[in-house]
Structure 1
């Protein structure tokens, strides 16, 4: 009995020691290895508020939201979506401008750009811009909310929720430990794409009569793929270059580019190479992006091309924030007056 009690006591001591080491490591990471300039900024003192919001978003998206809407009629959010996409366009434009003015148009190096941790006004402006980019990841939650309110739950796929749920925490880490420098090139490109993307969906939400002004939808996908190639190239070059920038962030951002390039490439091939074989279409069904119908198609049974934006095989696909819930699905919804 004595030996058994000693064994239990030893396990308890070891467990206590492990917990103490984890707590000490966490405090050392937060207090000594993070950027002290941002510690008192909103949501920056601890990762737990961001994690809690992200988990709540995921639970609402997959459980609470669909349950609340189960016995309700879908909301008509056409005007709300026009305003929302307009605000997102302006917000993205401002963030893009701030990234330029705080570094990328003022001497930032494409080859190697360390983080400036000083209290220089330009360095602080860059850190502030990074915080607003972090905040913008929460505003993108509305993409999912609008799907749910319009009962387009098939678009709220697991991949869609994981992407939107993980991005705020990924950006939080960058903001906490490296608010500036090399990897802000990713945010610069991403906000530029969001300017074009949200403007496109604002115009699309205005109705079929405006379709002629967004004939360039195919090139939006091309631009998104070029973005990811540029991100991958820019990040992974540090594998062959000495640069005073955290390699972990470089690798993490570069892998984002790899993943999204694969998804967008699959969508592009499915949509624009016009593969009609059932086998090929099934093989490409993982493209996980909305397939847009041709705007030149005539109305069928009173349903406009505006109301046929998604093909059935993409019902549960990942959106990357590009489809904001205003579109109708599977030729079942009448044209909005």
Structure 2
């Protein structure tokens, strides 16, 4: 993709920024990028994923569970490296532009640092496609208990929301949730890579509960950030802020329930029996 090095904002309305809505024209920078240009692409990928969730376990149950240690390790390592790239691009480019962590309007600019953020947020969206492999591994390994509503809802909804961000708001305040989420995914996929190496390594992975706790902090912070942006009347799409804030609530509940069931007092008493 060839980027224009122009530092000026392009095509801005009189107030200097876009207040995007889903009926508005897509961002000119990403409009033709792979998987972004048509909602039918997103619908087809998402439908394929949900069909895999629905019928994959019935097909896999006919065969013995697979170990897949090498594919698991390679996929997890690749995902950790991809998320590290996304995090570093978002962090360094946003710092170079002096982005605000409280409120940063989305401006259509082709400056080099803005295009770094735009490209990183596109890769952030594409990474959600690669994350569908997590579900495929669960199915092939017969890990039925891990194929939960939380898992499927998280993967499918994040895929749609990151597509919407890449299509309409591929810069501005969108950088912050992308940067935080990619940082957590570096740790998460690092854990998965180490876990796939077998029992000798798994005994050192006692810190899994803190990873879940970190995810809870992420969702809590996301809700608080969206709320403060709304209160301050941040120059970002009202509907995007509402969606971002409300979206965090079911995750706070579902991940909180998972944490309580996995690491709470009742979980400890069950392990002791």
Q: TM class by shorter-chain length? A: 0.7 to 0.9
Counterpart of 1:68 in structure 2 is: 59
Q: How does 1:155-304 map to 2 (within 5 A)?
A: 155-275=146-266
Q: Which of 13, 30, 47 is residue 39 of structure 2 equivalent to?
A: 47
1:212 to partner: Cα distance: 4.3
Partner Cα distance (2:268, 2:85) in 1: 44
- Between the aligned partners of 1:125 and 1:147, the Cα distance in structure 2 is 34
99-108 or 184-193, larger mean C-alpha shift: 99-108
Which residue does 1:314 correspond to in 2? none
User: 2:126 maps to which residue?
Assistant: 135
**Aligned in 2, Cα 1:145/1:228: closer, same or farther, shift over 3 Å?**
same
Given the two structures, how large is their TM-score scaled by the length of structure 2?
0.84
CA 1:70–1:214: 2 relative to 1, 3 Å: closer
| 1:118 and 2:109 aligned | yes
Superposition misfits of 4+ residues, deviation over 4 angstroms: none
- Whether 2:25 is the aligned partner of 1:33: answer yes
Q: Contact (CA 8 Å) 2:150, 2:254: kept in 1 or not?
A: no
Question: Which has the bigger relative contact order, CA under 8 A and spacing at least 6?
Answer: 2
- Post-superposition Cα deviations, 1:213-267, rounded to whole Å, max 9, x if no partner, equal 3232222122111111111111111121122111111121222222212222222
The normalised TM-score by structure 1 is 0.69
Q: Deviations over 1:26-83 (max 9, x none)?
A: xx967x62211211211222111111110111012211x2233232122121222112
Structure with larger Rg = 1
Specify whether residues 79 and 276 from structure 1 end up closer, same or farther in structure 2 by C-alpha distance, changes over 3 A only: closer
Q: Runs of 5+ in structure 1 lacking a partner?
A: 1-27, 282-292, 295-337
Counterpart in the other structure of 1:150? 141
- d(CA) in 2 for partners of 1:160 and 1:182? 26
Task: Please report the RMSD computed on the Cα atoms of aligned residues, expressed in angstroms.
Answer: 2.4
- Counterpart CA distance in 1 for 2:264 and 2:145 is 25
- Deviations, residues 187-218 of structure 1 (Å, cap 9, x unaligned): 11111111111111211221221134323222
